[in-house]
Amino acid sequence: MPIDETDFESKTLPHLEAVARFALSLTRDRADADDLVQETYLRALRGWSTFRAGGDARPWLFTICRNAFLRLRRRRQAFIESEDGDLDAMPAVIGHVQAMHDGLGDLFELIDVRPAIERAIDNLPEPHHTVLILVDLENNSYEEAAAILDVPIGTVRSRLFRARRMIQETLLAYAQDAGLARSANGHLRADPIAS
């Protein structure tokens, strides 16, 4: 059966930038990301006849991209994770309660947190980094992320919540280092560590 070339491009190319961002999040290297995107689209073209008409090409392309990445890199890290995301949600909130006590309740109004968040995201270990990118930055649902990663939804929740928790911890440490945390007597620290 001949491939409908026009249909392929009209369905897949609108997602090119999103796929490229995802590829960059996986490879963390621009040249490698470009190669991965090319590989993704080549595989997608070859598998176009298997794509279900009327389906959403975006998660389909993300899945191909991730699988291509795994095949190309053959790199897997052993890790231990809980299937219970609540276990990570709870300490994150407790961390915020402590931060409020330290005077960081209005953290977002006090400093520009984006540089710290960017660094924190870049430093997230796999597989937490990928899940955060898929859900929080690329707006995939838990279900879509689970399908892309071929893991249960509970695993997506767990990884996502742990990633957020790690970012929050980094953020709070960043604020404290910037001298925004209050001492026990309620006064701001006199000797901020960060410049």
Partner 1 sequence: MPACLEIPPGCEAAMRVLWDYLARALTNPRMVAVDEHLAQCGICRANAVFEKRLIAEIAAIRRPYDDSATLQLRILRMLSRARVTQP
Q: Is 178 an interacting residue with respect to partner 1 (CB under 8 A)? A: no
Q: Is 70 an interacting residue with respect to partner 1 (CB under 8 A)? A: no
- The correct pick among 32, 63, 72, 89 for binding partner 1 (CB under 8 A) is 89
Q: With CA atoms as reference, report the closest residue to 145 among 62, 26, 69, 39.
A: 62
- The correct pick among 161, 174, 178, 180 for binding partner 1 (CB under 8 A) is 161
In the bound state with partner 1, the residue whose beta carbon lies nearer, of 44 and 149, is 44
Q: Is 111 an interacting residue with respect to partner 1 (CB under 8 A)? A: no
Sites of contact with partner 1 (CB under 8 A) = 3, 5, 8-9, 13, 16-17, 20-21, 24, 30, 34, 37-38, 41-42, 45-46, 85-86, 89-90, 92-94, 96-97, 100, 105, 107-108, 113-114, 117-118, 121, 132, 136-139, 142, 157, 160-161, 164, 167-168, 171
